[in-house]
């Protein structure tokens, strides 16, 4: 009787329809983190413009030879960049917003990590299955054999690296640049090589997270932007809502 009503849809397909693709916790934390990260990018760029020179070690200033420098004019005329002009200095508001956005990311990340561990979200959706072969990895990289209802092995490993490596590192290096944190936990700073080393690592970690964001958006567009966005906003894609898989 059920087959005559639902046609090709099975009982498992009906259950798939009733189950949200993304839980409310995942969706809310995703969008809060996205907005906060964009704010961190904009304000972080302004902070870099105030001193576009990077060092390695505990100290670094205009009288110290930099490890490398970004070839742009600074927003402070005391910073030697080789340019005969300075950019507008917005360092005040950018630092306040940067710190506020950073703490928002930390708190949101704590909620997401707690949910992921308690609910089994990481184990169920992100941890690769046992016995994954190199053939499966290469197929995932090439875009073959992809299950559109789940993440392939490369996506899972990438998400795990972002969640458990890149984001914790960005928080750690950000805290390490704080004099208060360095005074309270000097070992957490010295293991990075010093406060200036922490700033340099922070910069490269930001680049890695930005590249991940760009690739993530491209993959969402390729996989079907409308359905993926709908799934991350209301929990279900259009295909799932009609009994299919998205």
Highest mean predicted confidence (pLDDT) among 12-21, 138-147, 173-182: 173-182
What percent of the chain has pLDDT above 70? 79
* Mean pLDDT (whole number) for 95-122: 95
Candidate ranges 68-72, 135-139, 228-232; pick with highest mean pLDDT: 68-72
Domain boundary assignment for the chain: 11-241
Predicted pLDDT at 181 = 95
Q: Is the pLDDT of residue 11 over 80?
A: no
Whole-angstrom distance, CA of residue 15 vs CA of residue 178: 50
> Which class does domain 11-241 fall in?
mainly alpha
pTM of the model: 0.81
Judged against a pLDDT cut of 60, whether residue 8 lies above it is answered with no
pLDDT score for 150: 63
- The pLDDT value recorded for residue 22 is 84
Packing angle of the helix pair 24-50, 195-234 (nearest 10 deg):
140
pLDDT mean across residues, the chain: 84
Residue 85 is predicted with a pLDDT of 86
Q: Is the pLDDT of residue 211 over 90?
A: yes
The string of pLDDT tens digits covering residues 172-208 is: 999 999 999 999 999 999 999 999 999 999 999 999 9
Q: Which of 13-17, 209-213, 222-226 has the lowest mean pLDDT?
A: 13-17
Query: How many residues in the chain?
Result: 246
Residue 190's pLDDT is: 96
The whole-number average pLDDT for the span 103-107 is: 97
Q: What is the DSSP string of 17-37?
A: HHS-SS-HHHHHHHHHHHHHH
Confidence of residue 170 (pLDDT cuts 50, 70, 90): very high
| Angle between helix 91-119 and 167-176 (nearest 10) | 140
Dihedral class, residue 56 (left if φ above 0, else alpha if ψ from -120 to 50, else beta): beta
């Amino acid at each position: 009787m059920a087959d005559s009503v639902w046609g090709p849809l099975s009982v498992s397909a009906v259950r798939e329809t009733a189950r949200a693709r993304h839980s409310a916790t995942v969706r809310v934390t995703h969008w809060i983190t996205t907005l906060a990260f964009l704010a961190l990018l904009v304000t972080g760029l302004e902070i870099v413009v105030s001193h576009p020179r990077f060092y390695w070690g505990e100290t670094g200033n205009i009288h110290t030879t930099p490890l490398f420098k970004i070839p742009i004019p600074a927003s402070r005329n005391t910073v030697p960049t080789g340019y005969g002009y300075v950019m507008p200095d917005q360092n005040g508001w950018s630092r306040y917003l940067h710190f506020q956005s950073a703490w928002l990311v930390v708190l949101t990340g704590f909620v997401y990590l707690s949910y992921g561990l308690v609910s089994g979200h990481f184990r169920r959706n992100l941890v690769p299955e046992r016995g994954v072969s190199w053939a499966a990895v290469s197929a995932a990289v090439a875009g073959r054999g992809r299950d559109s209802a789940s993440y392939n092995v490369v996506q899972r490993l990438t998400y795990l690296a972002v969640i458990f490596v890149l984001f914790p590192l960005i928080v750690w290096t950000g805290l390490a640049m704080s004099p208060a944190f360095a005074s309270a936990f000097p070992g957490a700073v010295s293991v990075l090589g010093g406060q200036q080393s922490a700033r340099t690592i922070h910069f490269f970690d930001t680049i890695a997270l930005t590249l991940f964001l760009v690739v993530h958006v491209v993959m969402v567009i390729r996989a079907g932007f409308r359905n993926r966005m709908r799934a991350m906003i209301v929990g279900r894609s259009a295909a799932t809502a009609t009994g299919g898989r998205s």
